[in-house]
Amino acid sequence: MKRPAAVLPLFALLALDAAAAPPPKAQGVAEQAVSPKTGVDAEDIRDIRGTIEIPDYWRWAALGALGLVAALAVGSTVAAVRRRRRRRVPLTPEARARRALEIARRELGRGDAVAFANTLSIAVREYLDGALAVAAPRRTTEELVATLRAAPNPLLEPHERNVEHMLFECDRARFARRELPRAAGEHMLEDAERMITDITAAVAASRSREEATA
């Protein structure tokens, strides 16, 4: 008598099938390929990019600022040198006198007789000192007139009386506070300008003759 074949229960068969089947993949997780040589995720390798150059704006801004500062420094230096050169060039006696006469003219226009007389007197005295080497600034009007009369200067002689008149009128306005009409002041300015023009031309002609004969 044959034995009947062994029949496995249904739940045992289901357990065997589950053990033999491959484990299921977790949902939502992508497969990742691993390099056999490095063991590094191949997907990550493909995502690597080269170095990204970020413009250095601060460096260019700093260089621009330094350039501006240098340009300003150079400009200031050049301006200072030019100012020094202008200061080193002395004004001629004629230029100084004419500048002072312009100031005196403005003072006369304002009606300031004292300031006008003071400026005009100094201008005439300093011009005689610079152009003819007459020590006029350090002498009173009486002393200067006495010196000019004792040793007449050929270049000043045609204007000597006008110079005496100007200086005495200036002294009266400065010290005695004598009223000085505007018309009289204008006439004195004209005499001073004429004297400066004539003496400057005569001095230049005399120097030219001396240089020609040297």
Q: What was the pLDDT predicted at 86?
A: 66
Q: For residues 6 and 24, what is the distance between their CA atoms, to the nearest angstrom?
A: 32
Work out the number of other CB atoms within 10 angstroms of the CB of residue 59. Answer: 9
Q: For residues 182 and 188, what is the distance between their CA atoms, to the nearest angstrom?
A: 10
pTM: 0.59
Please determine, for residue 213, whether its predicted confidence score (pLDDT) is greater than 70: yes
Q: What was the pLDDT predicted at 144?
A: 94
| 3-state secondary structure at position 34 | strand
R_g of the chain computed on alpha carbons: 53
What tens digit of pLDDT does each residue of 31-54 get? 444 445 455 454 555 555 556 666
Q: Between these two residues, 101 and 29, which has the higher pLDDT value?
A: 101
Type and span of the H or E element at 107: helix 93-109
Cβ atoms 203, 135 nearer than 8 A: no
Sign for the pseudo-dihedral over CA of 96, 98, 102, 104: positive
What tens digit of pLDDT does each residue of 84-140 get? 766 667 899 999 999 999 999 999 999 999 999 999 999 999 999 999 999 899 899
Q: What was the pLDDT predicted at 122?
A: 96
Q: For residues 20 and 13, what is the distance between their CA atoms, to the nearest angstrom?
A: 11
Please determine, for residue 160, whether its predicted confidence score (pLDDT) is greater than 70: yes
What percent of the chain clears pLDDT 70, i.e. is strictly above it?
A: 71
Please determine, for residue 11, whether its predicted confidence score (pLDDT) is greater than 50: no
Segment 49-78 mean pLDDT: 75
